[in-house]
Amino acid sequence: MNNSKRIKDLDQFDRPREKMIREGFDSLSDEELLAIILSTGNKEKNVIDLSKEILDTFSYEELLEIEVVELRRIKGIKEAKASKIVAALQLGRRINERVLDRKIEKITSSNDVYEIMKTKLENAKKEYFYAILLDTKNVIIAKDFVSMGDLSSTIVNPREVFKKAIKKSAKSMIIVHNHPSGNPNPSREDFAITKRLADSGELLDIEVLDHIIIGKDCFYSFKKEGNL
Name the residue with higher pLDDT: 101 or 94.
94
For 124-139, write each residue's pLDDT tens digit. Answer: 888 999 999 999 999 8
Q: In terms of CATH architecture, what is 106-221?
A: 3-Layer(aba) Sandwich (3.40)
For 73-98, write each residue's pLDDT tens digit. Answer: 988 888 999 999 999 888 888 887 77
The whole-number average pLDDT for the span 139-155 is 74
For residue 1, what pLDDT is reported? 45
Average pLDDT, the chain: 84
Looking at the chain, which residues constitute the CATH 1.10.150 domain(s)?
Answer: 7-97
The three-state (H, E, C) secondary structure of the chain, written as one string: CCCCCEHHHCCHHHCHHHHHHHHCHHHCCHHHHHHHHHCECCCCCCHHHHHHHHHHHCCHHHHHCCCHHHHCCCCCCCHHHHHHHHHHHHHHHHHHHHHHHHHCCECCCHHHHHHHHHHHHCCCCCCEEEEEEECCCCEEEEEEEEEECCCCCCCCCHHHHHHHHHHCCCCEEEEEEECCCCCCCCCHHHHHHHHHHHHHHHHHCCEEEEEEEECCCCEEECCCCCCC
The whole-number average pLDDT for the span 165-172 is 92
Looking at the chain, which residues constitute the CATH 3.40.140.10 domain(s)?
Answer: 106-221
For 2-19, write each residue's pLDDT tens digit. Answer: 555 555 555 554 677 788
Residue 70: is its pLDDT beyond 80?
yes
Domain boundaries 7-97, CATH class: mainly alpha
For 174-222, write each residue's pLDDT tens digit. Answer: 999 999 999 999 999 899 999 999 999 999 999 999 999 999 999 999 9
Residue 152: is its pLDDT beyond 60?
no
For residue 42, what pLDDT is reported? 76
